[in-house]
Structure 1
Amino acid sequence: MDTLQRFLFENAAVRGELVEISETWHQVQARAAYPAPVRRLLGEMLAAAALLTANLKFNGMVVMQMHGDGPVKLLVVECDSELHMRATAKLAEEAVIPGEATLTQLVNAGGHGRFVITLDPKDKLPGQQPYQGIVPLDGDSVAVVIENYMLRSEQLDTRLWLAADEKVARGLLLQKLPGEGGSGAQVADTAETWNHTVTLASTLRREEMLATDINTLLRRLFWEETIRVFEPRHPRFQCSCSREKVGNMLRLLGKEEIDAALADLGKLAINCDFCGQHYEFDKVDCAQLFAAENPSDAMQQAGTARH
């Protein structure tokens, strides 16, 4: 079972999380065959998204994206407050992926890559829009990119260790708790304890992460520390696509563009990039999409399409 374990250092202003994702990761990979370097990046993003989402007091969806001008055009992971997750990647046509390609080579080859985090509340207030943070793709690993984002956008000292292969995605997050002021000695002590926990975690290597379950990792890394462990949580794969959402997407394209596509194709076929679910919309279906905008025209088109 996929597991996320939160913990708190009793004698240090530091919190942490460990996550292990295998079942969800297998579900993601079952939808597409990614080259090994792409698979590694997407798996690391999956682990990172679970770690960041579990830290937020937020009811909604966290969407994490990396997009750029390399052979990989987009990496995207979505995770909601219940740790329901989905992920996908888009490659350029006829993309050539070297076996040891780095994040920079894959996504940021021309230096125009961007890292985007979107917080989309589930129950929006009137007029409320999703929050979106966009920064340059600063770093040559998923962990470093996210660390730089957190420091720049959230002013939070955050460290991440991530690893993924075809079997499992694991991650460790440490975060310095926000300070409440205090004397110079207290500030120095906070910095010292933070540096100490980061030093301990920095002994962790990718191969060890991939080979070791998170409970063992927690004991192995921090066996000398006093740690409070919380009730574990369990990420799982769940796609939020639906026929209604696909219809809303088609409506946004506009009636003129939809009519032109129907004239060429007869019907519209859409597959969900995340789960592979297939949706079809014929002339009657598409006429109904625009019924609320112009009911009389929609009814006339629907009647014509049925004859």
Structure 2
Amino acid sequence: MADTITSNLGLDRPETGDDAVVPFTLENLDTRGRSVRLGAALDAMLKRHDYPPPVARLLGEAVALAALIGSSLKFEGRFILQTQTDGPVNLLVVDFDAPDGVRAYARFDEAELDAAVASGRARPGELLGKGHLAMTIDQGEHMERYQGIVALEGDSLEEVAHTYFMQSEQIPTHVRLAVAELSQRGDPVSHWRAGGVLIQHLPDHGMAVMPDLPGDGDFDNPETADPDFVEPDSWTRARTLLSTVEDAELADPTVSPEQLLFRLYHETGVRVFEPTAIEERCTCSAERIEDMLRNSFSSEERAEMAVDGQIEVVCEFCSSAYHFNPHQFETSN
């Protein structure tokens, strides 16, 4: 069900709160998009690992970006956003389990991070360094995986996302992301929050589905980009209006996605759709890890892993610890 936002936010449902994605269209501007607001789910992911603030902000942006893209999948599958770089934060992984689960992990060099912060080189682009961003859509073991890769160039994940969509899929796209650590009245503990908006220009034929899905774009051939593309006035206006949003607005817990979209697009008109809830959810399990240990390692390798007679495997995402007796696999081999 869709609602056209009026001046008094005349929705036939409550305004959307935290940990949700709200799809919307700007029909008069030939544009559609999604708005995400993350609260408790993001806070749990970041605090579990006690990431330093620069790392937490960077990973929070990656989670918001992955939620904006992954929530567009129309099938059960996984969307994986991953960076591999030579900077202080050398790995970011966000695993979006469609339609509503997300988990994330960052790897960083503490000494390099401290040096970067001390010298004032703590912008996202400086923390990531040189490398690449990969976006992967995994539809399951019996289906082909789709992947797009782009060099990490620019000062932020926003800029990298713009480059990715233009090079890999030739879709005019604009993204705004913001992450903040805020304290609310009456709560002495600060909490991590994030917000983001992604808009894309609709093709001339008005296709309603998201063209950033597998099969709708050429993931690996940036040579096919149209050199004669002229930005339509409608897209220029949609993009310019989104550029005016402040970071504080994106992360503000008192501003719902519907309120934010009305502030930006009330003059042109905006239609919102039912939100999709997002939850922090890890896909690890004892059964999966047991299968991995059984099928990927020899009995000698498993014996070498054991400490005090136990193999311990800790999930990098959720920090859950699993314990196995190395001899329990022998009868299965």
Q: Under TM normalisation by the shorter chain, which class is it?
A: 0.7 to 0.9
The amino acid that maps onto 2:316 is D
Give the match for residue 166 of structure 2.
151
Cα distance in 1, alignment partners of residues 300 and 170 from structure 2: 44
Q: 1:244 and 2:279 equivalent?
A: no
Q: 1:38 and 2:55 equivalent?
A: yes
Give the match for residue 119 of structure 1.
137
SS, match of residue 170 in structure 1: strand
Cα shift at 1:255:
0.2
Report Cα offsets for 1:138-177 as digits up to 9, x if no partner.
2221111111111111111111000012321100111011
Give the match for residue 200 of structure 2.
175
Q: 1:193 and 2:211 equivalent?
A: no
Give the match for residue 109 of structure 2.
92
Cα distance in 2, alignment partners of residues 80 and 281 from structure 1: 27
Q: 1:283 aligns with which of 314, 326, 333?
A: 326
Is this contact kept in 2: 1:258–1:286, CA < 8 A?
A: no
> Which range moved further: 66-75 or 168-177?
66-75
Give the match for residue 295 of structure 1.
none
Q: 2:180 aligns with which of 165, 169, 173?
A: 165
Is this contact kept in 2: 1:116–1:134, CA < 8 A?
A: yes
- Closer, same or farther: CA 227–32 of 1 in aligned 2, 3 Å: same
> Which range moved further: 229-238 or 205-214?
205-214
- Sequence identity of aligned pairs in percent? 36
Give the match for residue 210 of structure 1.
251
Name the structure where helix makes up a greater proportion of residues: 1
Cα shift at 1:263:
6.3
- Closer, same or farther: CA 201–263 of 1 in aligned 2, 3 Å: closer
CA RMSD of aligned residues (A): 2.2
Cα distance in 1, alignment partners of residues 237 and 162 from structure 2: 18
Cα shift at 1:56:
3.1
Normalising by structure 2, report the TM-score. 0.77
Figure out how many residues of one structure are paired with residues of the other and give that number.
278
Cα shift at 1:66:
1.0
Is this contact kept in 1: 2:113–2:127, CA < 8 A?
A: no
Give the match for residue 303 of structure 1.
none
Cα distance in 1, alignment partners of residues 329 and 297 from structure 2: 11
Cα distance in 2, alignment partners of residues 79 and 71 from structure 1: 24
Give the match for residue 62 of structure 1.
79
- Closer, same or farther: CA 267–154 of 1 in aligned 2, 3 Å: same
Cα distance in 2, alignment partners of residues 287 and 91 from structure 1: 37
Cα distance in 1, alignment partners of residues 135 and 291 from structure 2: 23
Q: 2:315 aligns with which of 249, 261, 272?
A: 272
Cα shift at 1:264:
6.4
The amino acid that maps onto 1:165 is A
Give the match for residue 262 of structure 2.
219
Cα distance in 1, alignment partners of residues 60 and 138 from structure 2: 22
Cα shift at 1:208:
2.8
Cα shift at 1:279:
0.4
Is this contact kept in 2: 1:159–1:173, CA < 8 A?
A: yes
From the CA coordinates, give the structure whose radius of gyration is larger.
1
SS, match of residue 48 in structure 2: coil
Give the match for residue 305 of structure 1.
none
- Closer, same or farther: CA 191–272 of 1 in aligned 2, 3 Å: same
Cα distance in 2, alignment partners of residues 228 and 208 from structure 1: 20
Report Cα offsets for 1:51-70 as digits up to 9, x if no partner.
11122333200010111111
Cα distance in 1, alignment partners of residues 265 and 49 from structure 2: 37
Cα shift at 1:48:
0.8
Cα shift at 1:74:
0.8
> Which range moved further: 191-200 or 94-103?
94-103
Cα shift at 1:95:
4.0
Is this contact kept in 2: 1:119–1:130, CA < 8 A?
A: yes
Cα distance in 1, alignment partners of residues 306 and 266 from structure 2: 67
List runs of 5+ in structure 1 lacking aligned partners: 182-186, 292-297, 299-307
Cα shift at 1:252:
5.2
The amino acid that maps onto 1:210 is A
SS, match of residue 165 in structure 1: strand
Q: 1:24 and 2:37 equivalent?
A: no
Cα distance in 1, alignment partners of residues 248 and 235 from structure 2: 25
